[in-house]
Amino acid sequence: MAILWSLVVIDPLIILSTILCGTVSIFCTLFDKTGNTAIRVGRVWARSLLGFAGVKVRVEGLEKIHPDGKYVFCTNHLSYMDTPVVLGHIPVQFRFLAKRGLFQIPFMGTHLTQAGHIPVPLEDARAAVKTLTLAAHTIEKRSVSLLIFPEGGRSEDGILQPFKDGAAYVAIKAGVPIVPVALIGTREILPMGSATFRSGPVTLHIGDPIPTEGMTSHDRKALTARMREQIVELLQPAREATPSAPLR
């Protein structure tokens, strides 16, 4: 029954919302080259997806960040629903670092590019470094934040994977705090490899921002380790509720 409901009701609504919001977003970029309006439209899209799927999001730690601040947000990655949850509930102007393949999808790619999100060529290490430098300049030039999934992709089994140090590199290069974020429950809403949406609760837990003043690129591995430790701590309640799913 859940599969049928998802296919007949939820999926069409999500597709319709994506088309409508994407069209409005692209139109807005004709007049607003900053991408800020596109992000506001994106928030409407994100909340519509969560509403259609019956997802209730609880946010913890929002008082730790300032709406006008510049940060690098780093979160665990469990599901395609992670981005809508973050986009819809962190009221900061931010852009994404996403794999380049997403930018090659018709319509979606146009929206991502026009809104100012940044494609990462994962298959080319040298180009990826240049992209990280560009990301740091974007934070400074546009006065925006960035969202990065330091695992580099979704976790197939829900276990926290090793972190890449690109996020730490960007934060240090831009001189902005790095903010650990833990997502709990998105894997149950839309598991990897599934097209069936399930309703349920999700928790977005924002950790303490880690300052990067005085750090150099040589400190990126230590910063990455510190940030990962904080995310592990934020995920601890979920681990205690499901002892068979270790985080490390």
What share of the chain in percent tops pLDDT 90? 50
Report the distance separating Cα 192 and Cα 215, nearest Å: 36
Confidence of residue 122 (pLDDT cuts 50, 70, 90): low
Which residues touch 106 (CB under 8 Å, ≥6 apart)? none
Average pLDDT of the segment spanning 7-17:
87
Tens digits of per-residue pLDDT, 177-217?
Answer: 999 999 999 999 998 888 888 899 999 999 999 999 999 99
Average pLDDT of the segment spanning 140-158:
87
Least confident of 81-85, 86-90, 109-113, 192-196: 109-113
Q: Where do the domains of the chain lie, and which CATH numbers do they carry?
A: 2-241 (3.40.1130)
For residue 1, the model assigns a pLDDT of 64
Query: Which residues lie across from 201 on neighbouring strands?
Result: 56
What share of the chain in percent tops pLDDT 70? 91
Whether 174 shows a pLDDT value over 50: the answer reads: yes
Whether 223 shows a pLDDT value over 90: the answer reads: yes
Confidence of residue 125 (pLDDT cuts 50, 70, 90): low
Give me the count of residues in the chain: 248
Whether 73 shows a pLDDT value over 60: the answer reads: yes
For residue 10, the model assigns a pLDDT of 87
Whether 241 shows a pLDDT value over 60: the answer reads: no
Whether 238 shows a pLDDT value over 70: the answer reads: no
Average pLDDT of the segment spanning 219-223:
96
Report the distance separating Cα 27 and Cα 23, nearest Å: 6
Average confidence score pLDDT of the chain = 86
DSSP string of the chain, one letter each residue = -HHHHIIIIIHHHHHHHHHHHHHHHHHHTTT-TTSHHHHHHHHHHHHHHHHHHTEEEEEE-GGGS-TT---EEEE----TTHHHHHHHH--S-EEEEEEGGGGGSTTHHHHHHHHT-EEE-TT-HHHHHHHHHHHHHHHHHHT-EEEE-TTSS--SSSPPPPPPSHHHHHHHHHT--EEEEEEESHHHHS-TT------EEEEEEE---B--TT--GGGHHHHHHHHHHHHHHHTHHHHHH-TTS---
Strand 72-75 with 178-184, pairing: parallel
Tens digits of per-residue pLDDT, 20-48?
Answer: 988 898 888 888 888 888 889 989 999 99
For residue 170, the model assigns a pLDDT of 94
- Quote the pTM value: 0.87
Backbone angles phi, psi at 201, to 5 degrees: -85, 150
For residue 153, the model assigns a pLDDT of 84
